[in-house]
Amino acid sequence: MKIIVDMNLSPSWVRVLQAHGWDSVHWSEVGEATASDHAVLNWAREHGYALLTRDLDFGTILAATQTHGPSVIQVRAQDVLPAHLEPLIVRAMREHEAEIEAGALVAVEESRSRVRILPLSR
């Protein structure tokens, strides 16, 4: 599985994800910092990446466009640094890996994770 880490998360997530065996890159390495959410999603779809983000707008875009991908993993916590969330994110990604590979919106909160298969129904 390949993961693109959004601008709103630390580039240190790349090393964390790579240490767990996922091919990862931070958006700042491949795109403009000011790129629109649509541009980020299009790049991820075209290159076969799932998106790790804390931006809730991506779920809205997926619902509005009814697309089958890319998968989005939304981090829903105040402290989003790897030192705090690594075990939670890694566990959720492993638990939902098949769904992420197929196309899903995964919301990871400190107390639970939820998955919705794409395309999202209205």
For the chain, domains (ranges, CATH) are 2-117 (3.40.50)
Instruction: Take residue 86 and report the two structure tokens written for it.
Output: 């690594």
- H runs (alpha helix) in 5-96: 12-19, 27-30, 37-47, 57-65, 82-95
Task: Give the CA angle between residues 110, 116, 121 to the nearest 5°.
Answer: 135
What pLDDT band is residue 122 in, cutting at 50, 70 and 90? low
pTM for the model: 0.96
Instruction: Take residue 19 and report the two structure tokens written for it.
Output: 């240490």
What is the SS3 assignment for 17? Answer: helix
CB 5 within 8 A of CB 24: yes
Instruction: Take residue 101 and report the two structure tokens written for it.
Output: 């590979």
Mean pLDDT of the residues in the chain: 96
pLDDT digit string, tens, across residues 67-82: 999 999 999 999 999 9
Instruction: Take residue 71 and report the two structure tokens written for it.
Output: 């998968």
Instruction: Take residue 68 and report the two structure tokens written for it.
Output: 């089958």
